[in-house]
Amino acid sequence: MSEEQRRAPLAAAMQAYAAGGARPFHTPGHKQGLGAHRLLQRLITPEGLKEDVSLMEELDDLNHPSGCILESETLAAELYGAETAYFMVNGTSGAVHVMLMATLSPGDEVLVPRNAHRSVFNALVLCGAVPVWLPTATDDRLGIALGVTTETVREALVAHPAVKAILVTYPNYYGIAFDLKSVAALAHAHGLTVLVDEAHGPHLRFSPELPPDALTCGADLVAQSTHKLLGSLTQTSILFRQGDRVPHEAVRRAAALLATTSPNYLLLASLDIARLQMAENGVALVERAMRLAEGVRAVVNDTPGLWCFGQEYMGRPGAEALDVTKVTVQTAWLGLSGAAAADILRRQYNLQCELADAYNVLFLLTIADTENEALRLAKALKDFAIRNRREAISRPTVAPLDIPPLCLAPREAFFASSEAVPLARAAGRIAAEEITFYPPGIPVICPGERISREILDGLSALKALGLRVTGPEDVTLRMIRVVC
């Protein structure tokens, strides 16, 4: 590690300003904690409140950085092997929006897997690009979508020679990674820009045992959720750029358009400090998380009624490699949906999983976990399986849904006149809103897509499993908004 990487320039500048004693006649209104309510004082330390300031000359400007923010972003780019890094305080969703806005113009076609995160669909509304959906295989045993394949991308390029870019999710929520290097090489050979939503991969670079990170695979722009698996505060992410396919100025311009003019500097400093932490000890922390996760996986697979796939389940198109720190536990053979299992684990064992779907519950082992946390999780899962084992095992089933036909571009559908109709009478209509079960945040129906009877049945089946609905005006799904 270079001496420069041992610094946290933005965090140091904030500390220096707070220690300087300048009388605050500026925003925010609590004035470095002087007017903060006691609950806020308890929530944020006195030092944190003193450093909750912004836009002073020595603290730089996120939208046009030239000082300590630029230094911090440069250190992040160096650590991750990028040419440029951009700090984001509106999540990886915001970074995804910036990627598409910086790359595409209204009417441009872009290849997108249909199982992309809802932020991608929102970005399409913002930039006016038109998606060309890429199908992905579904693993019937797991009940989840896998990654795209090189052959699928090749076929799409033949059918749609005018596409300008491809946006993929890598790895997926469950840690499954496809052959991104081959996909990126194929896309570049056809003149496409490669955009990657790597929300769940900010730690990949720190172990050769994990799937290769998106920058190493050749991506042009990569959005990472630093807060999801590393040590920054919720809502913080980093967008990375390499190569000359997307100009630096285009990214800055898009970021300035979409971001707040009053970014929270505590969030920004947490990105700077998270980068410092990984520079100091990232390899050891990630290796520990991997070892702990494999230990939990071994206990799960030694427990009747439970199953947790590992590296041995990889090695096929769309599922070439696995981030082993993602521990996906299938509970379906106990006769329980993932949602039902998650509820039991939360209420009876005080364990909160990351995700629950029709068949599985997902647990994240991160740089924060120690032997104690891993042991508690493993023991709880074993006891849970013993107490919930049924004599007659009935596995819940949810059939994978076909990609709905796109009748209107997402932006056109978003701004079209719409009306609310009963869900049961929506077959054949064009959706004017998105319906997503969250997590993982993959839309079942998006604005501009035609609603089929199969989609309606699928929505009812997923809701019956207890999964949380987000996106529609009516989250009970009695009504749905459609294009007039």
Could you tell me the CATH number of the domain that includes residue 305? 3.90.1150.10
Position 18 in a domain: yes
For residue 381, the model assigns a pLDDT of 98
b/e map 144-156, b = 16+ CB within 10 Å = bbbbbbbebbeeb
User: Which helix or strand (DSSP H or E) is residue 187 part of?
Assistant: helix 180-189
Give CA 202 to chain center in angstroms. Answer: 10
Statement to judge: residues 95 and 33 lie in one domain: no
Q: Is 403 part of any domain?
A: no
d(CA 53, CA 30): 10
Condensed to tens digits (0 to 9), the pLDDT of residues 101-128 reads 999 999 999 999 988 998 999 999 999 9
CATH number for 114: 3.40.640.10
For residue 382, what is the enclosing H or E element? helix 371-387
- The whole-chain average pLDDT of the chain stands at 93
**What is the DSSP track for 406-438?**
B-S-HHHHHHS-EEEEEGGG-TTSBBSS-EEET
155 and 183 assigned to the same domain? yes
- Same domain as 196, residue 300: no
* Cβ burial 52-72 (10 Å sphere, 16+ → b, else e): bbbeeeebbbbeebeebbbbb
Report which residue type is found at 55.
Answer: L
Least confident range from 66-75, 153-162, 455-464: namely 455-464
Do the domain assignments include residue 397? no
Concatenated DSSP letters of 102-147: HH--TT-EEEEETT--HHHHHHHHHH--EEEEEP--EETTTTEE--
Instruction: Identify the pLDDT of residue 399.
Output: 57
Burial of 416 from C-beta contacts in 10 A (0-12 / 13-18 / 19+):
middle
Q: β-strands 326-330, 360-364: how paired?
A: antiparallel
Residues 6 or more apart whose Cβ sits within 8 Å of residue 12: 68
180 and 265 in one domain?
A: yes
- Domain annotation covers residue 337: yes
In angstroms, the CA 197 to CA 168 distance is 6
Whole-Å CA distances, 167 to 3, 163, 236, 291, 443: 36, 11, 21, 32, 16
CB 364 within 8 A of CB 353: no
In a domain, 394, yes or no: no
Q: Are residues 158 and 191 in the same domain?
A: yes
**How many C-beta neighbours within 10 Å does residue 182 have?**
17
Domain at 415, CATH number: 3.90.100.10
Segments in 259-370 forming alpha helices (H): 265-301, 338-349
Residue 79 counted as domain residue: yes
Note the pLDDT of residue 48: 94
Say what percent of the chain tops pLDDT 70. Answer: 96
Residue 369: exposure state from Cβ atoms within 10 A (0-12, 13-18, ≥19): buried
Among the three residues 221, 251, 278, which one is the final residue of a domain in this structure? 278
Domain end (from 259, 278, 297): 278
Please indicate, yes or no, whether residues 61 and 51 belong to a single structural domain of this protein: no
Q: Are 42 and 92 members of one domain? A: no
Cβ contacts of 357 within 8 Å, gap of 6 or more: 143, 144, 338, 339, 440, 467
pLDDT tens digits, residue range 200-240? 999 999 999 999 999 999 999 999 999 999 999 999 999 99
CA atoms within 13 A on the CB side of 183: 34
**Residue 161 sits in the same domain as residue 110:** yes
Which pLDDT value is given to residue 392?
44
Q: Is the pLDDT of residue 256 over 80?
A: yes
Comparing 60-69, 141-150, 351-360, 463-472, the range with the smallest average pLDDT is 463-472
Question: Stretch 141-160: mean pLDDT, rounded?
Answer: 94
Amino acid at 218: G
- Do both 107 and 189 map to the same domain? yes
pLDDT at residue number 458? 84
Provide the β-strand partners of residue 482. Answer: 419, 431
Asked if residue 110 is part of any domain, the answer here is yes
What would the mean pLDDT of 272-295 be, rounded to a whole number?
A: 98
The C-alpha atoms of residue 335 and residue 393 are separated, in whole angstroms, by 5
Separation of alpha carbons 56 and 237, rounded Å: 23
CB 264, CB 227: distance < 8 Å: no
- Do 144 and 250 fall into the same domain? yes
Q: Out of 37, 56, 75, pick the residue that ends a domain.
A: 56
pLDDT digits (tens, 9 = 90+) for 342-394: 999 999 999 999 999 888 999 999 999 999 999 999 999 999 999 997 654 45
* CA atoms of 127 and 101, how far apart (whole Å): 5
Closest by CA position to 309, among listed 172, 446, 110: 172
Q: What does DSSP assign to residue 191?
A: T
Examine the domain organization and report whether 100 and 183 are in the same domain: yes
Q: Up-side HSE of residue 18: CA atoms within 13 Å toward CB?
A: 21
- Residue ranges making up the domain that contains 240: 57-278
State the first-to-last Cα distance of the chain, in angstroms, to the nearest integer.
59
Q: Cα dihedral angle (106, 107, 109, 113), rounded to 10 degrees? A: 70
Task: Reply yes or no on whether the pLDDT at 436 is more than 90.
Answer: no
Based on the domain organization, do 99 and 246 belong to the same domain? Answer: yes
Helix ranges (H only) for 21-134 are: 38-43, 46-50, 68-80, 91-103, 118-127
State the total domains in the chain. Answer: 4
In a domain, 405, yes or no: no
- Output DSSP code: residue 456: H
